[in-house]
């Protein structure tokens, strides 16, 4: 039986080294490429065509959600396992919407990651226990989150707006025109009922799309406009 070939995507070299060593100690697992951002992940996938992509979501610039989307647009058969610190159901559900095959949090036991890689490589779906509980709780909870009505691309743009990115910066990251980003921005505000970008920031924080501790809440992005 041939090895499971893996592309590992994470922006921290030391983190990649640690997980590479963990995975390569497993019989039948072989790391064939690494990447540190969404663009290099896409190029690496096209170059090596791995059996499984292990994808972090917190990448510089465009997030892992956009990387999953881009890879899956190029290869509908791509098997992508999201492996991230984001433990909220909102991110997990959006990841599956754009084509991820599994979602495991970095707080999970190492054995969960190893099992998930094997399952995803066979075409299955994998969830770490904590995420499975989060999704179940979300499905049972009422009312629904404001972000439930947003598509994956709208969710990514909301995240970038909340991080303080300008229209031109978002357009460059997502390879779209500024006009298209402006249209998305308007649609997002309309769907979630946010009159200003300040409201969008708080909605993104509430949905777990951004961490409040990482934001400068006194910056211009939080001013009404």
What structural domains does the chain harbor? 4-139 (3.40.50.2300), 146-222 (1.10.10.10)
When pLDDT is cut at 50, 70 and 90, the band that residue 155 belongs to is confident
Three-class secondary structure of residue 105 per DSSP: strand
Give pLDDT, residue 141: 63
Helix, strand or coil for residue 191? helix
Q: What would the two tokens of residue 143 be?
A: 């009312």
Alpha-helical runs (H) found in the chain: 13-24, 38-48, 64-74, 89-97, 110-121, 129-140, 152-162, 167-174, 178-192, 197-206
Question: Cβ neighbours of residue 145 under 8 Å, at least 6 residues apart?
Answer: 90, 138, 206, 207
Mean pLDDT of 139-143: 60
Output the pTM of the full model.
0.74
| Tens digits of residue pLDDT in 9-58 | 999 999 999 999 999 999 999 999 999 999 999 999 999 999 999 999 88
- Is the pLDDT confidence value at 220 over 60? no
Residue range 196-209, pLDDT digits in tens: 888 888 888 877 77
The chain-wide mean pLDDT, for the chain, equals: 86
């Amino acid at each position: 039986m041939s090895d499971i070939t893996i592309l590992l995507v994470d922006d921290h070299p030391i983190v990649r080294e640690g997980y590479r060593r963990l995975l390569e100690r497993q019989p039948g697992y072989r790391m064939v490429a690494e990447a540190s951002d969404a663009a290099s992940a896409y190029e690496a996938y096209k170059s090596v065509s791995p059996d499984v992509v292990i994808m972090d979501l917190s990448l510089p610039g465009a997030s892992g959600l956009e990387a999953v989307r881009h890879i899956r647009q190029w290869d509908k058969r791509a098997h992508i396992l999201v492996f991230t610190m984001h433990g909220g159901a909102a991110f997990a559900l959006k990841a599956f919407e754009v084509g991820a095959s599994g979602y495991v949090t970095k707080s999970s036991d190492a054995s969960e990651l190893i099992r998930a890689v094997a399952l995803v490589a066979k075409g299955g779906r994998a969830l770490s226990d904590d995420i499975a509980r989060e999704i179940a709780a979300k499905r049972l909870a009422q009312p629904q989150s404001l972000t439930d009505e947003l598509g994956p691309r709208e969710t990514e743009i909301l995240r970038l707006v909340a991080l303080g990115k300008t229209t031109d910066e978002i357009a460059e990251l997502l390879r779209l025109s500024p006009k298209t980003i402006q249209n998305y921005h308007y649609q997002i505000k309309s769907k979630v009922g946010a009159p200003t970008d300040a409201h969008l920031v708080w909605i993104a924080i509430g949905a777990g799309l951004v961490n409040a501790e990482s934001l400068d809440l006194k910056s211009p992005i939080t001013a009404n406009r």
